[in-house]
């Protein structure tokens, strides 16, 4: 079967993107990153993608803080279509997704969140877990809908919260779990077509 064509949206470091790209290179995931888009011009994910020979585009998000302006989101849709992207992968993308993109890829947009949803949705979920004294946390891959971290859960991976954990140490443990879970979920999607 032809490799599944992925479009990755990020705003930051892109370590999940790297985990996915590595899984592809190592022959563990029958996919191809057709396009990387960032809403932050200086995001490391853009450079990392270009260094790997991938197309990586900055799209100016417009005047809102929590979402893209509709014109900007439409530009993202146009780029994804141009590259014949089949599934959209949010990897550290900080904005909510709205109508033009959701309608263009119904049930074809997924996100990874650093907690066991529905626990600790929203920002700095690892800090929320430490502050709440949780014994267990983890990460969740879920479908994206118009809400924040509210879409149907696809898969989760647990990590323990250790005595003496700081938000940072828990975050690092959760991220290591993310780097396993995200490629694994994509493999299931690619193989299940
Ligand atoms: C991850 O921890 C993910 O859970 C959250 O954003 C972070 C992205 O990190 N949605 P990276 O850019 O993939 O390193």
In the predicted model, residues of the chain with pLDDT beneath 50 are none
Residue 70: per-residue pLDDT: 95
What pLDDT shows up at residue 110? 98
Residue of minimum CA distance from atom 9 in ligand 1:
92
| Ligand 1 within 6 A of CB of 114 | yes
Distance 190 CA to ligand 1 centre (A): 22
What pLDDT shows up at residue 193? 87
Q: For 126-160, how does the pLDDT look when each residue is reduced to its tens digit (9 = 90+)? A: 999 999 999 999 999 999 999 999 999 999 999 99
Domain ranges of the chain: 4-192
Give me the pLDDT at residue 128, please.
98
CA of 133 to the centre of ligand 1 (A): 22
What pTM was estimated for this model as a whole?
A: 0.97
11 lines ligand 1 (CB under 6 A): no
Ligand 1 centre to CA of 34 (Å) is 20
Residue 186: per-residue pLDDT = 98
The 3-class secondary structure across the chain, one letter per residue, is CCCEEEEEEECCCCHHHHHHHHHHHCCCCCEEEEEEEECCCCCHHHHHHHHCCCCEEECCCCCCCCECCHHHHHHHHHHHHHCCCCEEEECCCCCECCHHHHHHCCCCEEEEECCCCCCCCCCCHHHHHHHHCCCEEEEEEEECCCCCCCCCEEEEEEEECCCCCCHHHHHHHHHHHHHHHHHHHHHHHHHCC
Residue 45 CA: nearest ligand 1 atom is: 12
Give, using CA atoms, the residue closest to atom 8 of ligand 1.
92
Return the active site residues. 113
* Fold assignment, 4-192: Rossmann fold (3.40.50)
pLDDT of residue 124: 97
């Amino acid at each position: 079967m032809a490799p599944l064509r992925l479009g990755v949206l990020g705003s930051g470091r892109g370590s999940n993107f790297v985990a996915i790209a590595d899984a592809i290179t190592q022959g563990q995931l029958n996919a191809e990153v057709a396009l990387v888009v960032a809403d932050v011009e200086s995001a490391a994910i853009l450079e990392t993608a270009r260094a790997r020979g991938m197309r990586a585009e900055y799209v100016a998000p417009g005047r809102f803080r929590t979402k893209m302006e509709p014109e900007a989101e439409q530009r993202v849709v146009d780029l994804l279509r141009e590259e014949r992207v089949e599934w959209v992968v949010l990897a550290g993308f900080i904005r909510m997704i709205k109508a033009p993109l959701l309608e263009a890829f119904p049930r074809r947009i997924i996100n990874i969140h650093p907690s066991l949803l529905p626990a600790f949705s929203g920002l700095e979920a690892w800090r929320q877990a430490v502050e709440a004294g949780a014994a267990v946390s983890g990460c969740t891959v879920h479908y994206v809908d118009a809400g924040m971290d509210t879409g149907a859960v696809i898969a989760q991976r647990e990590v323990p919260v250790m005595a003496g954990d700081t938000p940072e140490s828990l975050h690092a443990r959760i991220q290591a779990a993310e780097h396993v879970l995200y490629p694994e979920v994509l493999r299931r999607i690619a193989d299940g077509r």
